[in-house]
């Protein structure tokens, strides 16, 4: 979870709903959120609720209202699939916001596209969802796993470490991240000298680390997809405090960093690439730090950018409905393919399959002061 970047409802005027309204007054956008509220970051849910509140406050001007309902998956794939089929048949649902479960999202993408139902996913999708299909109504708000790995490859080129070991879980997403990191076509001076299963590293750490010493490993890249990575990082740093380390968004966990000083002290210099990106300043003048600081001053709360994922998911649907002049999922999908969406401190553009596109790779490095804050860096893709 991110530590920065939540906005005050009172400061959302710059993100106001634009357009001349829908063709018929008092149209309602009905959005189904495929998740139990207890399974999502609290600020993600808060972002969804704030977007609904804000849109409905503006309904007298736009003629548009929105309803969002959470539909839990019931705790199993089978029950989640039943929910998918039910929502696909519902003529009242304009759009569906995806789940935290990538297997559920993979099935949902196929079913909803066949049903012509707009499907927005604020969490990760398997790369195979894009690569194996040509869905027209499915959109991802996150970077692909391959892009996560590739952005980390760009980051390590600028580090002191040249000989790297890569550790990943054997699941599909982690493997896609790892492949993005190791399958680099240009000679950038980085050598991948070892690849190891995370479970093997956990169960046989001494032997694996001994091999790394023999190979002269200078950096370790990890794709654990769970909080287990922190304990492995702690072991690695206990052997060599100067080992350069990096990983995926599993290492961006606000709760662990604030509750575990032993973890916080080993994070300085750690390289992380995130599943989604945000802008510190957006085109319409919203400044992420300014609105976050003011929110904290007025509420006493520290929020993170999951708020933006929830807020922009809802606004993406409703703002584009206003642009289309109709509450119709297929018309909204067509405009998203054509124009993308400029949201609150986030900009989205999509290829023909709904994958995130853009001209930059972004990565972050934990600051050396031990505060747990991250410094952001970006590299143009053609560099």
What residue ranges of the chain have pLDDT lower than 50?
1-7, 9-11, 13-20, 25-26
For residue 176, the model assigns a pLDDT of 94
Handedness of CA 122, 127, 128, 132 (dihedral sign): positive
CA distances from 266 to 52, 156, 172, 245, 290 (A): 40, 18, 29, 10, 29
Q: Is 246 within 8 Å of 157 (Cβ atoms)?
A: no
CATH 3.40.50.2300 in the chain: give the residue spans. 9-143+278-352, 146-273+361-380
Name which CATH class applies to 9-143+278-352.
alpha beta
> What are the backbone dihedrals phi and psi of residue 180, each rounded to the nearest 5 degrees, phi first?
-60, -30
For residue 4, the model assigns a pLDDT of 39
Name which CATH class applies to 146-273+361-380.
alpha beta
For residue 28, the model assigns a pLDDT of 92
CB count in 10 Å sphere of residue 79 = 13
The token pair at 259 is 């509750």
What is the pTM (predicted TM-score) of this model? 0.86
For residue 320, the model assigns a pLDDT of 96
For residue 334, the model assigns a pLDDT of 95
Closest alpha carbon to 176 in 124, 136, 133, 218 = 124
């Amino acid at each position: 979870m991110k530590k920065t970047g939540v906005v005050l409802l009172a400061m959302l005027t710059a993100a106001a709903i634009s357009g001349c309204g829908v063709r018929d007054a008092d149209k309602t956008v009905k959005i189904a959120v495929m998740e139990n509220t207890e399974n999502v970051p609290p600020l993600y849910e808060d972002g969804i609720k704030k977007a609904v509140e804000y849109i409905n406050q503006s309904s007298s001007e736009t003629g548009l209202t929105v309803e969002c309902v959470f539909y839990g998956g019931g705790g199993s794939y089978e029950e989640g699939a039943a929910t998918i089929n039910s929502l696909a048949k519902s003529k009242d649902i304009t759009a569906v916001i995806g789940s935290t479960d990538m297997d559920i999202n993979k099935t949902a993408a196929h079913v909803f596209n066949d049903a012509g139902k707009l499907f927005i996913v604020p969490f990760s999708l398997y790369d195979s969802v894009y690569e194996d299909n040509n869905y027209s109504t499915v959109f991802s708000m996150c970077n692909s796993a391959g892009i996560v790995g590739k952005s980390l490859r760009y980051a390590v080129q600028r580090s002191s470490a040249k000989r790297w070991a890569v550790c990943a879980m054997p699941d599909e997403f982690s493997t896609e991240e790892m492949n993005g990191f190791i399958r680099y076509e240009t000679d950038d001076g980085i050598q991948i000298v070892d690849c190891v299963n995370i479970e093997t590293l956990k169960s046989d750490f001494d032997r694996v680390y001994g091999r790394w010493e023999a190979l002269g490993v200078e950096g370790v890249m990890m794709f654990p997809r769970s909080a287990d990575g922190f304990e492995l990082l702690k072991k690695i740093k206990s052997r060599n405090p100067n080992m350069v380390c990096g990983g995926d968004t599993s290492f961006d966990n606000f709760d662990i960093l604030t509750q575990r000083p032993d973890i916080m002290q080993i994070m300085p210099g750690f390289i992380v690439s995130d599943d989604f990106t945000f802008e510190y300043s957006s085109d319409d003048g919203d400044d992420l730090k300014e609105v976050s600081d003011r929110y904290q001053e007025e509420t006493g709360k520290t929020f993170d950018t999951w708020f933006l994922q929830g807020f922009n998911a809802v606004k993406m649907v409703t703002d584009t409905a206003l642009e289309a002049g109709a509450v119709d999922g297929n018309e909204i999908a067509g405009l998203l393919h054509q124009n993308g969406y400029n949201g609150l401190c986030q900009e989205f553009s999509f290829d023909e399959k709904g994958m995130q596109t853009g001209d930059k790779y972004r990565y972050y490095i934990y600051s050396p002061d031990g505060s747990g804050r991250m410094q952001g860096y970006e590299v143009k893709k053609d560099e």
